[in-house]
Amino acid sequence: MSKFTFDPTIYNKSDNKPISTVLEKELSRRGVLKRGGILAAFGAVASTGLVGCDSSSSSSNSTTPASQDSSLTLGFDSIPGSKLDSVAVPSGYSAQVLAPWGTPLNSNANPWKIDGSNTSDDQLNSVGMHHDGMHFFPLEGSSTEGLLCVNHEYIDRKALHPEGRVHAPVKYDEIVPPFAAEEARKEIYAHGVSVIHIRLTSGVWDVVANSPYNNRFTSATEMDISGPVAGSELLQTPYTESRGKLNIARGTMNNCGNGHTPWGTYLTCEENWPGYFVHKGTMTEGEDRIGFGDRGSRYQWDTIQGDSVIGEFSRFNITPTGANATEDYRNEANGHGYIVEIDPFSPGSKAVKRTAMGRFRHEDCSFGKVEAGKPIVYYSGHDGRFEYIYKFVSKELWAPEDANSTNKLATGAKYLDEGVLYVAQFNESGKGVWVPLVASTPIPGTDETLGGRLGSLANIILNTPLAADWVKATPMDRPEWTAVDPVTGSVYVTLTNNTKRNNTDDSTSNDTNVANPRDNNKFGHIIRWDEGSEATSFSWEFFLFGSPAAGDVQTNLSGLTSANELASPDGLVFDDRGILWVQTDNGADEVEENTNDQMLAIIPSELSSKGDKAVLGSENQDQLKRFFVGPNGSEVTGLAFTGDNKNFFINIQHPGNWPAYGTRNAAEASSDDVRPRAATVVITKDDSGEIAV
């Protein structure tokens, strides 16, 4: 998630805490505080991989590590940090700019103009703004041609419009003067997802102009809604009345992380979507918890006069003003906050919002180990201070022949429209519990159930965070991306940062806890877990702690050096070889003064020669290597790769002064004064070999 769209408001007002008040109680119980204080002891535990699990105890993990033909080793040296208007890659690698914002996808769009004067129609038919999560879908198994699906998280008005070239992202609560409908449409069309047909020709990747696969989904595109919320009167608006349907919504927005499916579709995640709406009336408990506000929507689209279609702009004001839901847009936001499935191979098909997977600020989603006769499992974090980690388990069991389905969205309905949504509790002794968010789940401390308090499953889904509060989920330090190791099946999550943690023992959610032990956590950490023999159990441990290299022993718990110091781990992706790629969204001056945002690599399954699962510590931290550094002002985010692992696609979001016009060389793409353009960077090895090895 971009730091420029982060909503700092704490919406979780619950008093949820794990069994222990703080980590010190757990460490003290186990007698490991003899080495000099809570964090020193904590660092010793983390570096040995024993957090929450006595050496004599047995693990409940049922995942058996997959065998590898040979050991895998990172074949590059960690590169220095950099502060440049260009990207940095290891020696022997090259970087190319591909599909920057405004690149035409068809002949209905004019070429991108330096002065920002492209029209809304141009933007509708061009690559969107601020690239984020993405995935590469090969055409007929090719590693030289395919469809690149790219999220577009938000916009920068001063880059999007002609007024000026200065990079100044709109702050979350910035109010702007009245503006024209044409400008608003251009902003709406710059959001969403681009499906881009790309091809490698003579060593250069480029967009295939006018390909029938090229496609755009924006914040105005009509989409279907499926799962528990579909058909509910809580979706009723003047627009649904005009269409005679209660299973549709308009647009997807603030698309941050992503996922994909075993049957070949793209999943885009709606993250900080509540800020696009304004609610000036009396909110329900659920509306207040999800994060609507009365201070004005992020881009003030609701203030535009002159809808060209019903509710074009007025739908962003969800204040009840009429006699019922057919007279205002009180229910408009109920169609947002989901994971959206797109079939990139069928450009005429509609996107589908899969409501069974929960409604919250989805950072990304990743599926677990896929096995015949077992459910499909997806993991997703809610990016916010003191928010939660969720998993969805399909009702339908996996049939391998569905991997080759010709009706991909029907297959998506089969696995994603029915199932159970769970929320995580992280407890002592490295144990965890997945609590089902279903009608029969009891609310602790009461004689009620979720169904008794909220009613239907549709209402539980619409109020996912509130339901999670009531069942005592563990408040986390901004859960961002999840990733599943293809070798071991272990699941990883980035907890990017949380500077509002404290250690007051005041029985509130902002107290430290066993899974989030650092108060004023501005460097972030990564947690790993393994599923248990039952769907409701897991075992967990800390894998990595962010820190500056110069951090003291109470800060630099993973022993990081100048070769791999990091802050705010964010993007997290495994390639199919088992290499874990960690991207950062610098949130600490101590690291940011030494390097721009970056991407590092590590192979978790190769950290230990003993066959067990080691974590990162002082004895092996040299296995975490910096591979890529972005240009000044940017966030490095999104990662995709071709099937042969010879082409990596990385997104550069909100660069300050990059790339220079007309250049393809991303390492030499700066100029003194450019209108910045988010873009994809393609990394290749000069000897045409696999990346990183």
Q: Quick one: what percent of the chain has pLDDT higher than 70?
A: 86
* Residue with the larger pLDDT of the pair 299 and 331: 331
Supply 89's token pair: 């890659």
> pLDDT tens digit string along 536-591?
999 999 999 999 999 998 899 999 999 999 999 999 999 999 999 999 998 799 99
Mean pLDDT over 614-621 rounds to 90
Average confidence score pLDDT of the chain: 88
Mean of the pLDDT values across residues 67-89? 87
**pLDDT recorded at residue 92:** 98
Q: What is the pLDDT of residue 478?
A: 93
Output the pLDDT for position 53.
30
Tell me how many degrees the CA angle 680-681-687 measures, rounded to the nearest 5: 150
- Residue 189, token pair as written in the block: 């069309």
CA–chain centroid gap for 563, Å, is: 26
Closest Cα to residue 156, out of 361, 2, 337?
Answer: 2
Does residue 277 contact residue 292 with C-beta atoms inside 8 Å? yes
Residue 290 has pLDDT above 60, yes or no: yes
651-665 mean pLDDT:
91
Residue 473 to residue 508: CA distance in whole angstroms: 13
Tokens for 664? Answer: 């393809």
Q: pLDDT value at position 502?
A: 73
Instruction: Copy the structure tokens of residue 617.
Output: 């510590």
Nearest by Cα to 365 from 272, 434, 266 = 266
pLDDT class for 71, splitting at 50, 70, 90?
A: confident
3-class secondary structure, 138: strand
151: closest CA among 219, 226, 198?
219
Q: Rounded to an integer, what distance in angstroms lies between the CA atom of residue 544 and that of residue 319?
A: 44
Q: Would you say 19 and 393 are in contact if contact means Cβ atoms under 8 Å apart?
A: no
Amino acid 496: pLDDT: 92
Query: What pTM does this model have?
Result: 0.91
> What pLDDT, on a 0 to 100 scale, did the predictor assign at position 628?
98
Q: Express each pLDDT in 123-151 by its tens digit.
A: 999 999 999 999 999 999 999 999 999 99
| pLDDT, tens only, 474-501 | 999 999 999 999 999 999 999 998 888 7
For the chain, percent of residues with pLDDT exceeding 90: 76
In tens, the pLDDT along 438-469 reads 999 999 999 999 999 999 999 999 999 999 99
Q: Predicted confidence band at 167 (pLDDT cuts at 50, 70, 90)?
A: very low
Q: Where are the domains of the chain?
A: 23-685
What backbone torsions phi and psi does residue 475 show, to the nearest 5 degrees? -70, 130
pLDDT in tens, 180-225: 899 999 999 999 999 999 999 999 999 999 999 999 999 999 999 9
Res. 239 pLDDT band, cuts 50 70 90? very high
pLDDT in tens, 396-445: 999 999 999 999 999 999 999 999 999 999 998 899 999 999 999 999 99
Nearest-CA neighbor of 228 among 465, 511, 463, 474? 463
Confidence of residue 58 (pLDDT cuts 50, 70, 90): very low
The pLDDT value recorded for residue 4 is 60
What is the structure's pLDDT at 656?
A: 92
For residue 55, name the pLDDT band (cuts at 50, 70, 90). very low
- pLDDT in the model for residue 359: 98
Model confidence at 36: pLDDT above 80: no
Mean pLDDT computed over 102-128: 97
Residue 304 scores a pLDDT above 70? yes
591 neighbors 562 (Cβ within 8 angstroms): no
Question: What pLDDT is attached to residue 166?
Answer: 42
Peptide bond between residue 659 and the one before it cis (omega within 30 degrees of 0): yes
165 token code pair: 């070239």
Rounded to a whole number of angstroms, the distance between the first and last alpha carbons of the chain is 29
